[in-house]
Amino acid sequence: MLHSWRYFFAFISVLGLVGLFYFEENWRGPRAWEKYKKERGARRERFDASAFVPPVVAPSENFALTPFLAPLFDFIPGTQKWRSTNQLAQVYGFAPEYDRAAKAVKAVKSARSNSWVTTEIDLTAWRAAYLQSTNRINQAIDSISRKEAATAVLANLAECSDVLEELRESSKRKYSRFNLRYNEDDPAGILLPHLAPLKHLCLVLQLRATAELALGKTDEALSDVNLMLRITDATRGEPIIISQLVRLPMLYMALEPIAAGFGRWSEPQLKALQERLQQFDFCADMKGALTGERVLFGGGIIEFLRREPDKFEALSGDGKFPGAIWSAVPSGWFDFEKVNFSRFFDEFVMPSIDVENRRISPGACQQTEKKMSAELNQSQALLFFQHRAFCSLLVPGTLGVARKTAFAQTAVDTAAIACAVERYKLAHGGLPESLGALVPQFTDKLPHDIIDGQSLRYLRTADGRYAIYSVGWNEKDDGGMAGFKKGEHDVPEEGDWAWR
């Protein structure tokens, strides 16, 4: 009986210690989180998710609620289930003949040596792809002129005319706000059905603008380019990194007809393009998305798993820490995870884009990535007990964001300057000796190289061509030799970032 009482008291003692441990951790965790919020709040930072949700706008002023785009988020109230899947299918498949032809057309490498315009649209191949039989395709390629091909392509693209005209009219609306369900319990489960159709629209417009340029229809081509740029900005206010990243290839699509139109655009058209390109600020947009990602999605996911810890395994995909373990930890540990995740973001992610000075330093980014990798390259067990499990899960997805942002901002900066150079050529019959000659008649000021803070480089070649370029990610002046991206989401790490 004495031994039984000893075991009983030992058991009670263990329960007391466990209870004391949970009480202490559940007390320390929220205090640590409140302390962190107070520190950052002194810098006017906010941590309520609602602060990052774009404000609701009137449908009559919302580009995203044009009849063509509205079905994308026409959910049954309180769900993410569509009222009509037929309407959704119509949005995704609005250009069936274009889609069929696109599968038959192979990308042709561009000879323009432009870091962003790496493929060239072959209108003859596109016209052939619209035909049905292989024999007719081969015959068409051999016997058709570019203007005839452009005429045929425009005729085939007539299937998209009604949709594109509707979007052109709706693009005059002041705002664009897609009705994402930001209040979803699981932020990782928020659907983004609008990104693929927006990209699809830009691809169609790119082809149409190219065909219009081939036929000398510069007004129509300019209208299509402007619509592409409007679509590129349609998700600008979304506090989601992927929404910002998808904007970049859409921008590069628009740059192809802009470049192809040099020598054809009039002075007013070049000025309009220049002014439109100068409105892009990818540094500020991406920094805003990172801020939203930290709170709305990083903090949101941690809170979601606090409520439903069994979902951790499905979210991480590695199964190293089953949900049962997260179900057993003190609730305060999730507060420690939020603190460490937020501090990790503050230390390693947020400084990568300097909005105030408009700089992104490759050297600093590479050092930060190495340090961050060293911090997270530890055993999962150690990260778990250090309350850095969510750091290792969520932060690595932000690697490369700064590099892609710098590449996109350099694209619009060099393209805008190129428009000013083309205007100078029209006015003076030749190229300027330096970019400084563009100020103030053709531009109020010249943007600096986002990489090193110096002036963007400019050179003229013996054949009457020119290059405007940044030193690129290797921070080395390679004399305007362009580095090329291998895919639509890649960024050249060698060579200059050049508009030639």
Domain assignments of the chain as residue spans, ordered by start: 63-263, 266-500
* Of 126-130, 198-202, 405-409, the least confident: 126-130
Following DSSP, what letter does each residue of 14-46 receive, concatenated? Answer: HHHHHHHHHHHHHHHHHHHHHHHHHHHHTTT--
pLDDT at 320 over 80: no
Write the pLDDT tens digit of every residue in 70-122. Answer: 999 999 998 999 998 999 999 999 999 999 999 988 766 656 678 998 778 99
The answer to whether residues 424 and 385 touch, using CB atoms and an 8 Å cutoff, is no
Between 432 and 319, the higher pLDDT residue: 432
pLDDT given for residue 109 in this prediction: 62
The answer to whether residues 474 and 362 touch, using CB atoms and an 8 Å cutoff, is yes
Write the pLDDT tens digit of every residue in 417-464. Answer: 999 999 999 999 999 999 999 999 999 999 999 999 999 999 998 888
pLDDT given for residue 67 in this prediction: 95
pLDDT at 137 over 80: no
Between 148 and 398, the higher pLDDT residue: 148
Q: Which segment, 125-129, 226-230, 361-365, 458-462, is predicted with the most confidence on average?
A: 226-230
pLDDT given for residue 322 in this prediction: 67
Separation between Cα atoms, residue 163 and residue 66, nearest integer Å: 10
pLDDT given for residue 160 in this prediction: 95
Of the chain, the percentage scoring pLDDT greater than 70 comes to 91
pLDDT given for residue 321 in this prediction: 62
pLDDT given for residue 309 in this prediction: 87
pLDDT given for residue 280 in this prediction: 98
pLDDT given for residue 327 in this prediction: 85
Per-residue pLDDT, averaged over 367-388, amounts to: 88
Alpha-carbon distances, residue 105 vs 11, 101, 150, 439, 447 (angstroms) = 74, 7, 15, 43, 37
Strands (E), 319-389: none
pLDDT band at residue 134 under the 50/70/90 scheme: very low
The answer to whether residues 121 and 107 touch, using CB atoms and an 8 Å cutoff, is no
Which residue carries 């892009």 as its tokens? Answer: 280
Cβ of 168: how many Cβ atoms within 10 Å? 16
Beta bridge partners of 499: 468
pLDDT at 352 over 80: yes
* Of 3-17, 91-105, 236-250, 425-439, the least confident: 3-17
What's the gap between Cα 459 and its chain centre? 31
Which residue carries 């990209």 as its tokens? Answer: 199
pLDDT at 133 over 50: no
Write the pLDDT tens digit of every residue in 454-480. Answer: 999 999 988 889 999 999 999 999 998
Judge if the upstream peptide bond of residue 440 is cis by omega within 30 degrees of 0: yes
Between 399 and 285, the higher pLDDT residue: 285
